[in-house]
Structures are given as C-alpha cells and as structure tokens.
Amino acid sequence: MSHTLGIRQAQKQKTRQALMDSALQLLEHQSLSSLGLREVTRAVGMAPAAFYRHFTGTADLGVALVEQALGSLHDTIRAAIVTTGSSEERIDRAVALIAAQVRTHPAHVRFIARERHGGVAPVREAIGVQLRAFGDEVAEALGADPESAGWPPEDVRMLAGVYVDHMVMTASALLEGDEGSEEAVLATARAQLRLVTLGRHHWLD
C-alpha cells in the first residue's frame, strides 16, 4: 500500500495538513462553528478559493481533525488497559497516559472537548463514533480480565463507559486548570479511579 505517491499528491497532502494545523491553532480561542474558511487560508497564506480543493467547508475540515486527533489513539488506549500490575499501578499508568497525551497534543484535546457537544453536527457525530469505539474496545479488554468473570456484558460496557468518560473529563480538567494545579487534578483523577475500582470489586456481591 505504501507505494510512493507523486510530488503532486505529496504537496497536496502537505498543504492539507497545513490547513488542519492552522485551523487547530485558531480553534484554541473559538469554536468550529465560528471558524471562517478565509481565516484558515489567511493563516496558511493562500487564496480562499484553494480551500475547496481540500475540504467542502469548515465542517468537513472538523471531521478530518477528529480523525487525526482520535484515530491514532485506539492502539494506545487498548494497550493501556491490558497492562499488568496491581490496581494501584494500573491506575497510575492510566492517569499518566492521559497527562502525557494532554501535554503532547493540547490543541487536539481541547478541540475534542470543545466540539464534543459543539454546534457542528457532523463533527459531534464523528467524535461520538470514536468515543463509542473506544468504549467498545475498552469493554472488550475488560471482558478478558479475570476480574470481570460472571459480569453481564451490559455491565462491562457500562464500566467501560465510565472509564472513557472519566478519561475525557480528566483531560479537559487538565486543560482548564492553570499549570500549577496539574498534580491536584491528577490526584483527584486517581482517587476517582480508585473509587470505581472499589465498586468494581464488589459489583457481584
């Protein structure tokens, strides 16, 4: 599949990426429904009309951004679930993973948090699909865990939903707080996961 693509295609993908990067930067201080097509092209330094060579409109660009922000995260998350160790260690690793993701890709995280309930329906839908996919994958991983033996599948899926929601909440909490409060947010996140883990241990009592 990785056949070398021509100079032309390569250049097109490059400017497409430039459009997405500039858009992501502009979205730091506004939401997608107010992002102008001209605004993006101006930031990249090209004519407005050229935008249409890559996207049908800003909504389309938003969907592409969702793909980029969440598409590559599936394997990472799946791997995080199946790590071994005590509950405490696994919680630490999961929270550290979220913190790392927020630190390395803050703009992507902000975009997802902002547009998850934002005003652009296709983008909302795309994020919903991705998060539901995360939930399914986490549920599958949890189902394989011996601790989930005897659990009804819908309860496993419910628990997976808690983990995914908590991940999103923690990520956006990290963005909102000033950088000094990072450790406090992470400590709360760990405590919350401990609470859930405790409930999980006694679910079938």
Partner DNA sequence: GCCTTGAGAGTACGACTGTTCACTGACTAC
Partner DNA sequence: GTAGTCAGTGAACAGTCGTACTCTCAAGGC
Q: Report if residue 22 touches DNA, rule: CB under 7 A.
A: no
Q: How far is the CB of 194 from its own copies (least distance, A)?
A: 8
Partner from its own copies, DNA, none binding residue 12, C-beta < 5-8 Å depending on class: DNA
Q: What burial class does residue 51 get, using C-beta atoms within 10 Å of its C-beta: 0-12 exposed, 13-18 middle, 19+ buried? A: buried
Site for its own copies in 138-167 (CB under 8 A): 155, 158-159, 161-162, 165
Q: Which stretch binds its own copies (CB under 8 A): 2-10, 60-68, 76-84, 197-205?
A: 197-205
For residues 39 and 155, which CB has a smaller minimum distance to DNA in the complex?
39
Rounded Cα distance, 1 and 148, in Å: 39
Half-sphere CA count of 57, side-chain side, radius 13 A: 7
Token duo for residue 183 = 């450790």
Residue selected from 128, 136, 137, 138 as contacting its own copies according to rule CB under 8 A: 128
The answer to whether residue 119 forms part of the interface with its own copies (CB under 8 A) is yes
User: 185: part of which helix (H) or strand (E)?
Assistant: helix 182-201
Cα–Cα–Cα angle for 197, 202, 205, nearest 5°?
A: 165
Instruction: Please give the residue ranges that form the binding site for DNA (CB under 7 A).
Output: 6-9, 11-12, 14-15, 36-39, 41-42, 45-54, 57-58
